[in-house]
Every structure is written in C-alpha cells, then in structure tokens.
Amino acid sequence: MTTTTRFAPSPTGRLHVGNIRTALHNWLLARKHGGRFLLRIDDTDAERSREEYVDAIRADLVWLGLDIDGEERQSARLALYDEAFEKLKASGRVYPAYETAQELDLKRKIQLGRGLPPIYDRGALMLSEAERSTKEAQGIAPHWRFKLDHDEPITWVDGIRGQQKFDPAQLSDPVIRRADGSWLYMLPSAVDDIDMGVTDVLRGEDHVSNTAVQIQMFTALHAAQFSAKATSGGDPFPRFAHEALLVGSEGKLSKRLGSLGCDAFRERDIEPQALVALLARLGTSLPVEPIAERSALVASFDLSVFGRAPARFDDDELARVNTAIVHQLPYAAVSDRLPDGMDEVAWLAIRPNLQVVGDAGAWWAIVTGPITRPAFDDEDKAFLAQAAQALTWSDTVWKDLTNALKESTGRKGKALFLPLRQALTGMEHGPDMASLLPLIGEEEARKRLQLAAS
C-alpha cells in the first residue's frame, strides 16, 4: 500500500517545537517512500478548540514547507465514531462505567497505599443490570470504557524501539467516551487511521502505552468488520514508531520547549530551512548539517538511525545552522525582505557577514550612509588624503587602490587596510571591501576618504 502518514494536532494552542518535529518526521517518512502526508485536525474538544489555531497550524506548515496531501477534521467525522462505537458495543468491547472522578481518585490512592499499580479494577463490570438501571434512574450518566482482552500479550515491532510487549492486565481499560457523549483521543484516532488508510504512525515515546491499547482497538474494529480498509501488510493496525522526546540543552525536559513555536522562531529571524535541517536530524546518529535542499533531507531520512536517548535541542546549534543557511540563500529567496535599493550584487557582497537576513539592513545603511567614523591621528589622516587622490575607478578599484598605496607609502597589512576600511565604512570588519567598495560608489567613496582626512 501507499505509505501514508499523518500529523494530528489539537487546535487548542500554537504548535511548539516538539509538534513541529513530529510533523516534519512524518512528512519526511511519507516523502521518502513517495507516499502521502495528511493533516488531521483533532478538534473534538469543542470548548478548547479555536479556529484561529487551525489557521495558525496551516500557516506554520506552509512556512515550514511541509505540503499536505489532504486534510480531515474530527468534528466532521462524529458519525463515523458513533458507528465504530456501536459495533464495539455490540461485540462486547465497550462497557458503561458510573464512577465519579472522586471515586476513581480514591480507588487509585487505596491501590497505591497497598503497593499496587493504580489500574482500574473493572468495578463497572461487576454491576448487575438492576444496579445499572438504578444508577441511570438516579440521573447518573455513564462514561464508556474499552474492554482490553487479557488473554494474550500485546506485541509489535516498533520502527525505533524494536520488539515491544505489554501485558494488557497491567493496563487500565481506557475511557473512550465521556458521560456527555464527547470523545477522548484514542478511539477516534484509531478509527481515523483505519478510514484514512494511515500505514505508519510516527510519534513521541510518551505514546507507547497508548499504542498498546490502540492495537487492541484496531484489532477489535477489524474483527467487528468496521471497515474493509486494511493497513500495511494486511495487518489490522499501522506500523508504529516512537521517537525520543526533545529536551533542552541542559539535558532536562524543559517547559520552555513547549513555548517555542514558529512565531518565536520568526521573531528571531530564524530561517525555516534552518529549523527543518536541525529537527530532521535531532535524535539520530546523523550529523546536524546546514542542508537547505529538502530532497537531501528526505533521501537521508531513516528510522534505523534514530536512537533511544533524549534528543537535545540547543539554541546555539540552531543559530549556527541558521547562519550557514543564510550564507546559501539566493537573492530570489530574500529579495522581498531586503532594504529598498539592495540588489543581487549587494546581497552577494553582504551575505557572508550575516547571521540572520534581518542584519542586511544595517550593512546596507553603511553602504548608503551616512556613517560614523573613528578619529584618526595625523599620520593616518595624511595616508587617507593620499588615498582620496589615488582613487581611480575601475572594475578592480579596491585592488588597484591598495596596490598603489602600498607602493607609494610602504604600508602593508593592517596598517594599510584598516584605516581605509574605517574611513569608508566606519567599521573594523565586515564584507570584503573588493565587493563593498563598488556598492558605495566613486563619488561617495572619495567624499568619505576626504572627510576622514580632514
């Protein structure tokens, strides 16, 4: 089957760097195999979901260059979840439960006090029909749990973690539907993966136990003939892979990472290519490199190089990659972000000195002037006066000027080049003067030399 992956954010906030990494890796996996990358908006939480967040998610994916091959919204698929629920109910795989949140919390505390795992005790299954009727007559609406099959261990070969095995008796029967009829995450997600033909689910390692539960859901839906659609290799469930979570540079899980989103990176003038290049390789044995060409990242993407150690996100590394990416950007990619009058020749001259594209404005201001130059001693003033007289315009003006001054004054090295740079730019360092001087122009360059000599 065609490899199909999905990114399934909830529109209850902006994407953060962990979400972005998940989306990117699913996009890379799909593109590596010539497959499909789908966006699924998990908006069943009507109270917290916001349309502006849906728009922001789409905009962020566009900014990152992650094109999608289809979009679904869970709020438009409720009838499908109802159908799956009724089939599972008919096959005895879901059951009503009536405990309040306070009662469940008390049960957990008692179990922990006895040194037992806080697993749901299936008390609802012990109720008689009469007891259920009494509770409903009292106006107690049930929530619904999926009944795990305890007969066989849950196993799968994880694309990153390898062979996985869970004892279902050590897992709680998950709540899949609230008393008000609204859905929790796991059943709608499994239903969507079947219906949308998802073949590969790549997500964070915090979902490993969810996967164990969902594998039984996939199997139960398959047995209940919910859908004729199959996933990879005829299995009733997709291939799963769980990658290590991101941590901060200090080596700990960082709340700050949860606030780092595309807006924060845009405000820092980080290029999307730099963020993609970094996140594509984080958590793998491959080196992080400033690879702007997306096809190269796709070609090198391989689950077998992912490790189990936490993936460390380092701002300094992102800045380094960003600077290297900026030095590769062609004029066409940045022209709409440059100061008025700054053409391709100017961009190529200034680009090697930039850390972010936004710095181009400061260098262009040096070209267009006015500049603030340092005070020169009498010896340097005399030298600069000679430079103003020796200035003859040509295609090799800087080379011609410095050669002439070297011959006439005997100066060389720093004594030759630094006063000229300071007089012409006000700076001690910067772009190659052979490229910068033609941008300043003959009249302005002579004027700057004369002012420095006066």
What residue numbers does the annotated binding site cover?
Answer: 255
* Burial track 249-259 (b if 16+ CB lie within 10 A, e otherwise): eeeeebeebee
Residues found in the chain: 454
Let me know: does 245 contact 276? Beta carbons within 8 Å.
no
What span, in angstroms and rounded, lies between the C-alpha atoms of 235 and 138? 44
CA 32 to chain centre: 18
What span, in angstroms and rounded, lies between the C-alpha atoms of 242 and 309? 12
What span, in angstroms and rounded, lies between the C-alpha atoms of 168 and 166? 6
Bridge-partner residues for 200, per DSSP? 239
Let me know: does 4 contact 196? Beta carbons within 8 Å.
yes
- CA-based nearest residue to 196, from 38, 26, 32, 1: 38
CA angle 67, 70, 73 (to 5 degrees): 120
- The Cβ-side half-sphere exposure at 273, using a 13 Å CA radius, reads 22
**Residue 44 carries which side chain, given as an amino acid letter?**
T
Annotated binding site for ATP: 255
Q: Three-state DSSP class for 284?
A: strand
**H helix intervals, 173-288:** 186-195, 208-223, 262-267, 272-281
